[in-house]
Amino acid sequence: MNIRVLYSLFITAFILIISSCQNPVKNMPTVMPSADKSTMENNASVNEQDKTVKIYDKKTLLNWKERYSQSNSRIFRQLIKPVLTPNERNQLTNVQFDVPELGKFNEPMAFYRPDGKSKVVMSAQSLKFLDDLCTAYAWLHINGYSPETLIDYIAMLRYKNLDEFPTPLDALQIPKDALEDTKVDNLALKIFTSARTFILAHELGHILHNHIGHAPKEKIGEKEKKRIRKQEIEADQFALDILDRIRTLELGITPIGTLFFFQINSHLNWDNHNSTHPLSSERLQAVANKEKDTMISSWLKELAELLADKESQQSIQLAAQYRDFDTLAPRQRGELPFAPDRRENISQPFQGSYSGNYTRFVFNESEVLSVEVNFQRNGSKVTGRFNFGLGDGIISGDIEDKILYFDWRWYNKEGMGELKPFGDNQLKGTWGYRSSYDDGGEWELRRK
């Protein structure tokens, strides 16, 4: 499957996830699935600390620490405990829930069980991060904006490799009073609770299965990796089973949280090798096979496919590394990262929004893709952004004798091109790589 198709499937998955969250589901707090990441890390040895990315200040974390501690216990007591078998309940009699400000590894998805202990750690920063992502999703969705910016944000967090990172709500420009809209508040809470229940149950699964920790990163061989993957799958199966039992009680827990968790995790934990806790495609397949909700199951399968596709992973990585934070402003579905310039002279060529096709020469064949372009013209100077479904590229150039000669850049690729006006509303031309104007293909645009 080509990258673009996969990527748009991914976006669609998010839209569907969120829409399906709004199906009437009895009155119950949402259950949230926890990050796999944490699960994989949960047995990591102490000397294998990751660099901790800082998203929230200490004061914020101290504020939330207590609240999350209480809600963790509540989720365990009210949702999970009632569906445990007597035997499971026995084994978990002394289980403890710890909410440190920061986790020892895997921030901001630090959910784990310290090796050999009957304890589940969920850091305040990680819970706040998940909480805010749920708020952001809910607000974007209810207000008709694309969830694409949120996916971009998560990928940037993973690939920009910064020590400090803006919070989801700041970076995505979500209004401070977002939760005052009860629709947003309800949806956000539903996803958050559902994802947390999944995560908590996953860690409890590790405890019940007496899973053991793994060696430091550098010592992990194939056999060890296999064992870790098996443990993750067992813990997932237990978590899904718990969600299933809760559902039979008709408490209104949705399976959405599981998917939400894996979506976030798949972008944050993307490394396919040399990672002690890869979110393997195999693991996702196992979750998909066990999941009884057919729609969720099929999206999990799509995600597993995306995860196994190296080309897609590279594209997402490149896009994340080159993207600026100002492209994360809320936008309508299908809209480009920047609104068109509507100031003046919108009728002159190379000003405003165009859409059309571009042809890409690949060996002896050509592939046609649709593209959208926003131009901003100032005299004979023109800048613009184009998008063909895989992040945005930039062009800048000059008009000479009515023809626009420009340079373009898309992630790490660049080149040149030219465009000529035809009639009132059309532009046609060619583009090429590096110093060529025409070895890449052709393009044709019409004013929107």
Q: Which residues bind Zn ion (CB under 5 A)?
A: 39, 232, 235
Per the CB < 8 A criterion, the answer to whether 277 and 324 are in contact is no
Q: Where are the alpha helices (DSSP H) in 390-433?
A: none
CB of 299 to Zn ion, least distance (A): 21
Interacting residues of 155 by C-beta distance below 8 A, sequence separation 6+: 267, 316, 317, 319, 320
Q: Which is nearer to Zn ion, 39 or 263 (CB)?
A: 39
Instruction: Give me 2's structure tokens.
Output: 């080509």
CB-based closest residue to Zn ion: 39
Whichever of 49 and 161 has its CB closer to Zn ion, that residue is: 49
Residue 357 has what DSSP assignment? E
Q: Would the CA dihedral through 98, 268, 222, 274 be positive or negative? A: negative
The CB-of-288 to Zn ion minimum distance in angstroms stands at 17
Q: What is the secondary structure of 361-372 as a DSSP string?
A: EETTEEEEEEEE
| Residue 24, CA distances (Å) to 136, 181, 250 in order | 21, 18, 12
DSSP 359: E
Minimum CB separation of residue 43 from Zn ion in Å reads: 8
Q: CB of residue 37 vs Zn ion: minimum separation in angstroms?
A: 9
Residue placing its CB nearer to Zn ion in the complex, 278 or 340: 278
Shorter beta-carbon distance to Zn ion: residue 251 or 287: 287
- If the CB atoms of residues 89 and 229 are measured against Zn ion, the closer one turns out to be 229
Residue 29 burial (10 A CB sphere; 0-12, 13-18, 19+): buried
In the bound complex, what is the minimum distance in angstroms from residue 202's beta carbon to Zn ion? Answer: 6
Please state whether beta strands 96-98 and 441-447 pair in parallel, antiparallel, or not at all (unpaired). unpaired
List Cα–Cα distances, 220 to 115, 187, 223, in angstroms.
Answer: 17, 41, 8
How many angstroms separate the CA atoms of 274 and 13, rounded?
A: 28
Which of 50, 309 has the CB closer to Zn ion? 50
Rank residues 288 and 320 by Cβ distance to Zn ion and give the closer one: 288
The sheet that has 96-98: what strands, in order across it? 96-98, 119-122, 111-112
Listed in sequence order, the DSSP H helices in 105-144 are 124-142
Min dist. Cβ of residue 235 to Zn ion (A): 4
Instruction: State which residue, 140 or 204, has the beta carbon closest to Zn ion.
Output: 204
As measured in angstroms, the least distance from the Cβ of 76 to Zn ion is 17
CB of 42 to Zn ion, least distance (A): 5
